[in-house]
Amino acid sequence: MKTRLALALLSAAACQSPGSDAPMTHSSSALPPVCDTRPKELEAHGDVRIDNYYWLNNPDDPDVLAYLRAENAYTKARMAPTESLQEKLFQEFRERLQETDETVPVVRGPYAYFTRTFEGKPYPVHCRRPASTPDAPAEILFDVNALSEGHDYYSLGTREPSPDHTSIAYAVDKRGRRIYDIEIKNLHRGDIERGIRGTSGNLVWAEDGQTIFYVKRDPVTLRAFQVWKHRLGTSQPLDELVFEETDEEFSCYVTKSRSKKFLFIVSDQTLTSEVRALDASSPDGPWQVVLPRERGHEYSVDHAGDRFFIRTNRTAENFKLVTAPTSDPSNWTEKIPHRLDTLIEDVDVFGTHLVAQVRRGGLIHLVVHPVDGEAPFDPFEIEFEDPAYEAGLSGNVSFDTRKIRYTYSSLTTPDSVLELDLDTGLTERLKEAAVGGGFDRSEYVSERVFAEAEDGTSVPISLVRRRDAPKPGPLVLYGYGSYGSSMDAYFSSNVISLLDRGFTYAIAHVRGGQELGRMWYENGKLKKKMNTFTDFIACGEHLVQAGYTTNGEMFAMGGSAGGLLMGAVINLRPDLFHGVIAAVPFVDVVTTMLDDSIPLTTFEYDEWGNPNQEDDYRYMLSYSPYDQVSAQEYPHLLVTTGLHDSQVQYFEPAKWVAKLRATGTGKSELLFDCEMDAGHGGVSGRYDRLRKTAQSFAFFISLLDR
């Protein structure tokens, strides 16, 4: 539920001025499916809840599948009048998309690796060529279009070349449940080694070029919990278990220092982390704990020279950076001190410099520091101009480099890849995404405004609209607000279809993210979770009061934990928004968190609370969207999910919709769309994703006439 995946899934939610496109109309031939009630008593702490729809938690039950298909048929019938609009929107998206394109190459050793897309092809083609001859023909590593043939879902995940670049290990998910098979392709002979199954898709190579370490998932909870060692040419039964995370509140993953000197096993959960290190050239050697886990201590490790670089929150709420000898990781020297106004999100270490990605004033800043104490230059910051934007390091594989590559976009600036040369001080724009369809950024304006929350806290809102858009007008407000995941103001060419129809698109930076530092997160979790919901409500109210929109033209959207936000908000203020999209929504909070066999449960107790403890149970119950459904008129609602979702199980939104149908009053639209061959990220092909976005746009647009 954590990543930008949910945001990417939802970056569209659209509206349009009334009158130009056909709205949905009621049809007597399309009646909502009736979900059988099969009451189940759920008891905790002396409290008995009756769940009439618990039976939907069984994807092997023919009745469940029949019900989901009936909901899909109903949604298709209700959306039928918008089919021409959906097609129009889809074509607009394609016009803006540079379908035949190539990414900026990333140099790894002797090769430059890059990805191509082709017009009419739904999947990318991954390639490489010798770095010394940029005009050489591309060597195709993976044509995902060919690989996906015969599969309803196909995702090619991690792709890691061996240190000598003669082989490449990669992860494949053919179901959408984020359970990957790992395969190893010999790039000289073309043969493929198979048999590693049930993994998280995470893997690293040792420097011998013959050994990979990978992470397995628990087959029931899907927790990433075991690190295994595999040698080329051996079958999986001979693989060696090198680490098992036995604490069910933790998961683990493997990574490698940019210096290529160390491999790391990272165990972490919401509040605590622990790192183990191994000499990358000695894959059979012992793993050493860098710093033993202590509850509440979060840290990460990188390496340069004879030192570890440790980002830590010990006595540093917003984190600090320290160094320590690799032989004595507890012997710290402070490198970047803690600041109350600056959150250190990440640090990338290179041979001569390091780059800290920090948040200050709710925005990302990239600060360059020398690695050594004898500073060859003073720390400096890379400048950005827009009032709200997204930026981050990307493609910096080489350790011994004097160049810093980063990405940048804003609500009005397409995705760009830039590179700063530390020796010359010059910045080169390596690529800016081409946007077709007559896009002219000067026709749009972005702003950053603030709403006042219930407790007086100022909550930032980033928004974009056409300069000539009328005020008030239709507006879509997006929110997430969980896991400390900050929602930045990035560019989406699809959203232009909203803006060109007079819409404002806005992002509410509510508590639960980390936009304004660690306390922004701490004040939006556990028993302060209600702040996330009331912040979002305050943002909606402010946008109406400031004249950007009206209640009858304002829409909301969120996915995953942002779907929880949507569910809580419409229970608290069903009158505030005219329509809402909740994608893969986490809405049955208490029941899910009481079931430790469900993925993502045990190691999220420090995010939501542990309902096995009565005070946590009572607080979680007070906002759980499914439990708080009541007899009131809700806004128009479109709910989406995937049958194979491993993050938020399909039955949560299915139950929620069934209960809303039975309990809610009024005549608002209630649609449920369950992808039968997808998971948390939705469909896998790019054109299928665009069509789903067009459906979301059309849903909101049609509501403006109602």
**560 catalytic residue (yes or no):** yes
Least confident of 99-113, 444-458, 494-508, 635-649: 635-649
Q: Which amino acid is at 340?
A: L
Name the band, by pLDDT with cuts 50, 70 and 90, for residue 11. very low
Residues 320 and 259 in one domain: no
CA torsion 629-634-7-96 (nearest 10°) is 160
Name the band, by pLDDT with cuts 50, 70 and 90, for residue 462. very high
Chosen domain end from 433, 457, 480: 433
pLDDT digits over 425-448, tens only?
999 999 999 999 999 999 999 999
CATH, residue 595: 3.40.50.1820
Residues 210 and 246 in one domain: yes
Residues 277 and 305 in one domain: no
Of 329, 530, 494, which Cα lies nearest the Cα of 414? 494
**468 catalytic residue (yes or no):** no
342 lies in which domain range?
298-433
> Residues 413-422: what's their mean pLDDT?
96
Main-chain phi, psi angles of 202, to 5 degrees: -90, 130
Of the candidates 680, 684, 696, 702, the residue annotated as catalytic is: 680
Name the band, by pLDDT with cuts 50, 70 and 90, for residue 244. very high
User: What's the CA gap between 556 and 90, in Å, rounded?
Assistant: 21
User: What's the CA gap between 278 and 442, in Å, rounded?
Assistant: 52
pLDDT digits over 388-415, tens only?
999 999 999 999 999 999 999 999 999 9
User: What's the CA gap between 451 and 633, in Å, rounded?
Assistant: 26
> Residues 251-262: what's their mean pLDDT?
97
Of the candidates 560, 624, 646, 702, the residue annotated as catalytic is: 560
Residues 394 and 452 in one domain: no
The structure's pTM equals: 0.90
Chosen domain end from 274, 292, 310: 292
Of the candidates 588, 616, 645, 673, the residue annotated as catalytic is: 645
Residues 308 and 392 in one domain: yes
**680 catalytic residue (yes or no):** yes
Residues 451 and 420 in one domain: no
Chosen domain end from 386, 405, 433: 433
Main-chain phi, psi angles of 310, to 5 degrees: -115, 115
CATH, residue 304: 2.130.10.120
Tally of domains within the chain: 3
DSSP class of residue 138 equals P
pLDDT on residue 393: 94
Main-chain phi, psi angles of 442, to 5 degrees: -70, -15
The verdict on residue 374 lying in a domain is yes
The verdict on residue 699 lying in a domain is yes
**Mean pLDDT over each residue of the chain, to the nearest integer:** 91
The verdict on residue 122 lying in a domain is no
Q: Is 335:321 a contact under the CB 8 Å cutoff?
A: yes
The verdict on residue 656 lying in a domain is yes
The verdict on residue 472 lying in a domain is yes
Buried b (16+ CB within 10 A) or exposed e, 399-413: bebeebbbbbbbbbb
Q: The tokens of 607 are what?
A: 């995010």
Does position 1 have pLDDT exceeding 50, yes or no? Answer: no
pLDDT digits over 638-692, tens only?
999 999 877 788 999 999 999 999 999 999 999 999 998 765 555 567 888 899 9
Residues 87 and 231 in one domain: no
pLDDT on residue 680: 57
